[in-house]
Structure 1
Amino acid sequence: MYPALGTLYPDSFMKFRYISCLLMVLIFAGCERNTETELSGEIQGTTYHVKMVMEQTDATPEQIRADVEAVFRRVDEKLSNWREDSEISRVNRQQTTEWISVSPEIVRLVTIAKDVNRSSAGCYDLTVKPLFDLWGFSRHENRVPEQHEIDQAVAHVGMTKLEVDAENGRIRKTDPELTIDLSSIAQGYTVGAVAERLESRGIHNYLAEIGGEMKVKGRKANGASWRVAIEKPKPMVREVQRILEIHQENGAAVMTSGTYRNFFESGGQSYSHILDPRTGSPVTHNLLSVTVLHDDPTVADAWSTALLCVGEIAGAEIAEAEGIKALFIYRDGEELKEHMSSRFLSPTEP
């Protein structure tokens, strides 16, 4: 599956999560005059953009910028697989089956990931790092490995080999060679952490976007709903597929995962960076992108990847069973088609 950008997700800021493959979720500005305070910047390999109504806060834009960048640094220190000195990198170097004390952030992400793993029949998996390294997606050194190499890597992959003790703040690997890659969920967590910081400053009407993933809450300064655009899943082009008008006053995360930007070709065949941890090989279905709406950006991030991994048919079934708001865009011959879950079509809160 699925690394992403920056030092959390190793790549340049123009390349969206899971190393540049990700479908870009664009902020839809329209033609109206902007009346919100806006901040944007580049930090640790990605970009961020915040639009906010600051009528009920004493904080200055400079203080908000410092808050946002402090969140990036804190998350990076704990969750980055790219940094050798991050907490998760230190955990990965510990080849032990003893319990390992970890930060609350890691406990929460692993707990969520295990739930999504079970509901996706094992297609969503944080322990997929050996496969991602093997296929060369980690360092842009792509190759098609031999089957015996894949088999060896798969032997050390599996969320059932990772235990979590949330009450005591610790995790345990039943396979000492197990390694954890949080990049398929860390960006959603970062979005949520930024949103929480805005709200702690008294800002309750905002759009917080990091690397194309976002959370919106409340309304724009003129009372209108926030609007975002979903990109058409075609390589080498940037076109809008659909405009979403977000009506959830209590806040909604908009997370999109895609297969169509990060791939390589070998022997006349294309290989996606989305790897099925059960087979050790790239997925071969026709699903190109999945957009998930959820009140929790971390959960939305995990589910957008999980549904993308299982494909358009199983993904639609799982979305219905789990009550997930999901938009699927898939290839049917030469056409692009959409499928929306029943919850996605519902006007109710996420």
Structure 2
Amino acid sequence: MPNRVFIPLTLSEPAPVVADARVESLSGLTMGTSWSVKLIRSATHTLENIGEGIRQQLDLVVAQMSTWSDDSDLSRYNRAAAGSWHVMPAHFCKVLDCALAVAECSDGAYDPSIGPLVNLWGFGPAPARPDAPDASALAQARARCGWQRVRIDRSRNALLQPGGLYLDFSSIAKGYGVDLVTAYLRGIGVPSYLVEVGGELRGYGVKADGQPWWVGLEQPPAPAGDDEHMQNIVALHGMALATSGDYRRYFDYEGRRYSHTIDPRTTQPIAHRLASVTVLHADCMSADAWATAMMVLGDEEGLQLAQRIGLAALFIRRDADGFRESMTPAMQAMLA
């Protein structure tokens, strides 16, 4: 299988590690998925203590942003009475600000208020559904959505519940969890690490042999017998990546496949030929949200927007004879 290598242009000179430095691993479960960390640690911290610190960062995300946890800050807000104000934690507000910025820039292709539609289609905390919802139910759910309905009192980090607004951070919280874990590791002096939560990654530093953390970009499942599909790998030092794909969660009904990625503008699961998109960004929160936005927009409209804002993105589209790739200039510039 041929390889194609991407090296970030912003690659700074990483601090060297000792020649006999050993890569150690930690892993666990969070946010309905798995997490893993590979790292080179100093002798001042035990692996057990580092693992506990990592879990604290991920638990913070769940406590503030999970729609699956009834007592999270997000869930309490979602079921609050119309007209009520709610002072929200700083981390919550940071994620919401990023989500709203992506929503505005994408003209609503990304929308953190899409929760009612996600739930109606069976991809949220509610039980999965075996069929497609009817037009009346979709119209009712859509009436509750709209990122423009979000009102924030910046003086006290308070969020207005206008009535029926249901925020969903599922497309950004894992990325922010990666960012929190990396900030924690940097804060305790870990010189080199690779953090992954649900497939979203961020890396820093080099290993004992001087090599960075090489990561293969996630790709759609190849057709049977296709052994020549290009493998893309990236040196993940000082960068994060996130991938969104239509093959991760879906259900089939009456001969059609319904993806878990919902277009807020149409209320429908995406139906174009874009199979996946990978975004490289300085932080994983932004990469996570933009990967979803690009997936909704599709390879043509998404590519145009990504080019306009200077986003590094790789699009993989299904064609009659297999897959076709396209990438932004910012991504092309990383080709080694």
Same fold (TM over 0.5): yes
Match in the other structure for 2:17: none
Q: Please list the CA deviations of residues 136-155 of structure 1 after superposition, one character each: whole Å capped at 9, or x if unmatched.
A: 22222242111121111111
Q: In 2 relative to 1, CA 148–255 (structure 1 residues): closer, same or farther, beyond 3 Å?
A: same
**Whole-Å Cα distance in 2 between the matches of residues 44 and 322 of structure 1?**
30
Q: 2:156 aligns with which of 157, 168, 173?
A: 168
Q: Does 1:75 align with 2:64?
A: no
Match in the other structure for 1:86: 72
**Which runs of no fewer than 5 residues in structure 2 stay unpaired?**
1-19
Q: In 2 relative to 1, CA 273–46 (structure 1 residues): closer, same or farther, beyond 3 Å?
A: closer
Q: TM-score, normalised by structure 1?
A: 0.84
Alpha-carbon deviation of 1:245? 2.5
Q: Does 1:151 align with 2:139?
A: yes
Equivalent position amino acid for 1:78 in 2: Q
User: Considering only CA atoms, is the larger Rg found in Structure 1 or Structure 2?
Assistant: 2
Give runs of aligned pairs for residues 8-47 of structure 1, distance below 5 A.
35-43=22-30, 45-47=32-34
**Whole-Å Cα distance in 2 between the matches of residues 315 and 40 of structure 1?**
34
**Whole-Å Cα distance in 1 between the matches of residues 297 and 45 of structure 2?**
44
Aligned length: 312
The question of whether the paired residues in 2 share the 8 Å contact of 1:230 and 1:241 is answered with: no
Alpha-carbon deviation of 1:106? 1.5
Alpha-carbon deviation of 1:258? 0.7
Q: Does 1:65 align with 2:51?
A: yes
Match in the other structure for 1:118: 104
Percent of pairs with identical residues: 35
Give runs of aligned pairs for residues 123-272 of structure 1, distance below 5 A.
123-138=109-124, 139-174=127-162, 176-234=163-221, 242-246=231-235, 248=237, 251-272=238-259
Alpha-carbon deviation of 1:247? 5.7
Equivalent position amino acid for 1:283 in 2: I
Alpha-carbon deviation of 1:267? 1.4
Q: 1:332 aligns with which of 319, 330, 335?
A: 319
The question of whether the paired residues in 1 share the 8 Å contact of 2:215 and 2:236 is answered with: no
The question of whether the paired residues in 2 share the 8 Å contact of 1:262 and 1:272 is answered with: yes
Q: Secondary structure at the match of 1:85?
A: coil
Alpha-carbon deviation of 1:100? 1.8
Q: Please list the CA deviations of residues 104-160 of structure 1 after superposition, one character each: whole Å capped at 9, or x if unmatched.
A: 112111111111001111010111111111112222224211112111111111100
Match in the other structure for 1:19: none
Equivalent position amino acid for 2:64 in 1: K
**Whole-Å Cα distance in 2 between the matches of residues 118 and 324 of structure 1?**
16
Equivalent position amino acid for 1:160 in 2: Q
Q: Which segment drifts farther, 236-245 or 267-276? A: 236-245
Alpha-carbon deviation of 1:274? 1.1
Q: TM-score, normalised by structure 2?
A: 0.87
Alpha-carbon deviation of 1:165? 3.3
The question of whether the paired residues in 2 share the 8 Å contact of 1:232 and 1:241 is answered with: no
Alpha-carbon deviation of 1:241? 5.0
Q: Which segment drifts farther, 314-323 or 130-139? A: 130-139
The question of whether the paired residues in 2 share the 8 Å contact of 1:276 and 1:309 is answered with: yes
Equivalent position amino acid for 1:91 in 2: Y
Q: In 2 relative to 1, CA 261–156 (structure 1 residues): closer, same or farther, beyond 3 Å?
A: same
Q: Please list the CA deviations of residues 287-312 of structure 1 after superposition, one character each: whole Å capped at 9, or x if unmatched.
A: 11111111111111110111111111
Q: Please list the CA deviations of residues 45-104 of structure 1 after superposition, one character each: whole Å capped at 9, or x if unmatched.
A: 32221111224x611111111111111222211111001111110001113234321111
**Which runs of no fewer than 5 residues in structure 1 stay unpaired?**
1-32
**Whole-Å Cα distance in 2 between the matches of residues 60 and 332 of structure 1?**
50
The question of whether the paired residues in 2 share the 8 Å contact of 1:235 and 1:260 is answered with: no
**Whole-Å Cα distance in 1 between the matches of residues 71 and 327 of structure 2?**
42
Q: Does 1:302 align with 2:289?
A: yes
**Whole-Å Cα distance in 1 between the matches of residues 161 and 76 of structure 2?**
14
Q: Which segment drifts farther, 162-171 or 227-236? A: 227-236
The question of whether the paired residues in 2 share the 8 Å contact of 1:207 and 1:215 is answered with: yes
Equivalent position amino acid for 2:296 in 1: C
**Whole-Å Cα distance in 1 between the matches of residues 35 and 307 of structure 2?**
32
**Whole-Å Cα distance in 1 between the matches of residues 185 and 197 of structure 2?**
14
